[in-house]
A and B are shown apart, each in its own frame.
Chain A
């Protein structure tokens, strides 16, 4: 079936390094993508989004890249900090459907 999934379940980086978290999606009709961060004991928090008519969007220390040719989404975190340690989820929306489909999370651990 169609789904959103992540390549790696865990990622460990050193403080100050850049992090890249990947996500593959299979539905070419998806027109909107979001990255969420979920810290332990909390609900997911919105990080950044991108529409399918874009291939890159930047926020504060974060960049999302969208490659529609290979149906791949990535989240880049610059100068990763201990506070970035969390589970990261990508999610997709298809057309006028108001529901988001979430992929499996990637646990990011930042080592001091």
Chain B
């Protein structure tokens, strides 16, 4: 069962619209991440956070922004959507270095289409 939730699952939106992709986790994890993934392709890190009020840009340049006001919530915002933003966006969280497992727990993703 998922302990990290992303909404919406699918979104089709017009060019120029502002959108926010939601991500929430109930595991109390400090670390959260946003990845962008084109179908069948590798995951590219676009934003991450190591705790409340901490956000960093990832390895792939992105026009999106994020915020981390609460531990459980890590929303991603696009101020003005463009067709080039069409992709799948995956949110993940992690408890490392605590625990035996350094892996991430991923949400089911938001598939965004900008027309």
B40 touches A105 (CB 8 A): yes
Interface size on A, residues (CB 8 A): 23
Given the known inter-chain contacts A43-B108, A98-B50, please indicate yes or no for A107 contacting B102, CB distance below 8 A: no
B12 contacts chain A at the CB level, 8 A cutoff = no
Stretch of B65-73, B75-83, B88-96 lying at the A interface: B88-96
* Contacts A43-B92, A44-B90; A103 near B42 (Cβ below 8 A): yes
Interface of A is mostly: strand
A104 within 8 A of B: yes
What number of A-B contacts does a CB cutoff of 8 Å give? 56
* Cβ contact within 8 Å between B42 and A44: no
Q: Does chain A have a CB within 8 A of B21?
A: no
Question: Are A105 and B41 CB-contacts (below 8 A) given A43-B106, A43-B107, A98-B31?
Answer: yes
The contact sample of 21 A-B pairs, CB cut-off 8 A, is A34-B102, A36-B103, A41-B109, A43-B92, A43-B108, A43-B109, A44-B106, A45-B106, A89-B42, A91-B103, A98-B48, A98-B94, A98-B97, A99-B45, A100-B104, A101-B45, A102-B35, A104-B42, A105-B40, A105-B41, A105-B42
B contact residues vs A (CB 8 Å cutoff): 31, 33, 35, 40-43, 45, 48, 50, 58-59, 90, 92, 94, 96-97, 101-109
